[in-house]
Structure 1
Amino acid sequence: MKRDEVRQVDQIAIEEFGISGVVLMENAGRGATDWILKKTSPETPVGLLCGGGNNGGDGYVIARHLELAGRAVRVISMAELDVLKGDAAANAAIASKSGIQIEVARSEAELEDLIRPSDCLVDCLLGTGATGEPRGLYATAVQLANDTPGYRVAIDLPTGLDCDSGEVSETTFRADLTLTFVAAKAGFSNPAAAGVIGEVQVVGIGAPKCLLEQFGVF
């Protein structure tokens, strides 16, 4: 599935079927949580690297459900919560009001302190719409995550990997597990992507069967 198709599925689900974006995000995050719970031990703390868009919003949902499952969890945010918008802002607010540990990384030194060995690190930095090399603190977060021992999970696709072409940026999150929404992304078939996507599992978002059939993914 290409990035334009991903957008179309979301748009049609929202506009034609009346499924709100926050419900789709909730479904995606809950489904991803199930896989994280399956693939890591109950004693493993989880650190979620959350960007400022909807991929970060997925991370806030995952954090909440991991906490409900009894996991030690914390969010490392690349953005101040008051600049988030839409569904991401809504889920960040819920996580914050729920008392989930959220720490905003404003510098490389803060990131170095927040990204800890032994954690399961979850990449919720950039989604399918991102193109090109990650920049700034996003690039630093990816580099530190790759250099830190622990199990790494990418949400939808690893940051730095192009959704459509599968081109791998010099700075790309190296996942042990990629939890991708709706369908495998077109770029995953590029042999270059094999070294960064790890095991791939498809997670549903609650889009209707008839909609998924339109895109050949059911």
Structure 2
Amino acid sequence: MFIVTAKEMYDIDHYTMQTIGYGNLLMENAGRAVAEKITKIISKEEPISVFVGTGHNGGDGYVVARTLWNIGYDIEVIQVGENEKLKPEVRFHKQLFINCRGTVHVAVDDETLQHVFTNKKVVIDALIGIGLTENIREPIATAISLINKEAEMIVSVDIPSGLPSDEGNLSSIAIQAHHTITIGAPKMSMFIPSTEDFYGNWDVVSIGHSPFVFEKYTNRIMITKELFQQTMPRRKKSAHKGDHGRGLIIGGCDNMPGALAMAVKAALKTGRD
């Protein structure tokens, strides 16, 4: 499984949409794939509030909302930001949701947010995606604070809003998600101590990217248990440790022997002498 930076993910998306020719299908695929995962986490008995921003993450949120609404979920959308700021693709998917008789509340300031934010126990966060480059502005900051304070279940789309997607510390405020459904590939901040806890339990959904496109833009991969096991050679039942070579581990010092001890134990557990 590949791990990507924000720039790498943008390049992968752009190549998939423009060169391969997916166009706007990628956003539709993303929202539908996320919605399918959400059905495994949240039941139809739970009313859901989908908080969307004006960028592409908000577009994913509108597709999620429409997909869940059309299969019988109790859905409302709270759009945080003016209609004039909507990206064209987001505007398109918002209209589709409205055409399906979905409900959208538009909150452009703190007062409106406080008014609409009542009894929002289950929240899908699609406010800000991987494009964050500065501190969170209002009214997004207020929305994040209210969600963190009031919601009992938060599912973030792609990345918890407010987190950097790459290396780096949290600069202001971010969603503390219970679940995150990330799109395409894990982001680097999933593995950084200062940010990984914000993701909660996370999963990855495939939305149509071809493997060679990931290979074109990144060589960073996550070593899973299955991938590690594939690298281990098969051994005959009659084999002993002397049949498979010897290893030499050099390192450590008198007052910091931990890393050396762990390396030796790992070697022993894999049958190395």
Aligned to 1:108: 110
The answer to whether residue 130 in structure 2 is matched with residue 128 in structure 1 is yes
Is 1:18 matched up with 2:21? yes
Gaps of 5+ in 1: none
Residue 39 of structure 1 aligns with an amino acid whose one-letter code is: I
**TM-aligned CA deviation for residue 194 of structure 1:** 2.6
C-alpha spacing 1:119/1:188, structure 2 compared with 1 (3 Å): same
Corresponding residue SS for 1:152: strand
Preserved CA contact (<8 Å) 1:63 1:75: yes
Alignment of 1:162-173 (within 5 A): 162-173=164-175
> 1:116-195 maps to which residues of 2 (within 5 A)?
116-117=118-119, 119-195=121-197
Q: State the secondary structure of the residue aligned to 1:192.
A: coil
Q: Measure how far apart 1:86 and its partner are.
A: 2.2
Kindly tell me the number of residue pairs found equivalent between the two proteins.
Answer: 217
Taking only aligned residues, the RMSD between alpha carbons, in angstroms, comes to 1.7
- Summarize the Cα distance change of 1:141–1:208 in structure 2 as closer, same or farther, 3 Å threshold: same
- Counterpart of 2:214 in structure 1 is 212
Distance 1:212 1:68 in 2: 33
Structure 1: how far apart are the matches of 2:118 and 2:194?
A: 28
* 8 Å contact from structure 1 (residues 152, 175) kept in 2: yes
Q: Which residue of 1 aligns with 2:248?
A: none
Q: Provide the TM-score with structure 1 as the length reference.
A: 0.93
Range with greater deviation from structure 2 (130-139 or 77-86): 77-86
Shift in Å, 1:45? 1.0
Deviation at 1:32, TM superposition (A): 0.5
Deviation at 1:211, TM superposition (A): 1.9
Secondary structure of the residue aligned to 1:39 is: coil
Shift of 1:174: 0.5
Work out whether residues 2 and 163 of structure 1, in 8 Å CA contact, stay in contact via their aligned partners in 2. yes
Residue 118 (structure 1) shift: 5.2
- Does the 8 Å contact 2:123/2:151 carry over to 1? no
User: Given that residues 167 and 188 in structure 2 are in contact (C-alpha distance below 8 angstroms), is that contact kept between their aligned partners in structure 1?
Assistant: yes
Greater mean alpha carbon deviation, residues 81-90 or residues 118-127: 81-90
TM-score of the pair, normalised by structure 2: 0.75
1:50-74 per-position Cα deviation (integer Å, ceiling 9, x unaligned): 1111000001100100101210001
Q: In 1, distance between residues paired with 2:148 and 2:48?
A: 15
Give 1:93's match in structure 2, choosing from 91, 95, 103: 95
CA distance in 2, matches of 1:166, 1:119: 30
| Matches of 2:118 and 2:207, distance apart in 1 | 30
Which residue is 1:4 aligned to?
Answer: 7
Matched position secondary structure for 1:168: coil
Answer whether contact 1:158 1:172 (CA < 8 A) is retained. Answer: yes
Partner AA of 2:106 in structure 1:
V
Instruction: Please report how far the alpha carbon of residue 82 of structure 1 lies from its aligned counterpart in structure 2 after TM superposition.
Output: 4.5
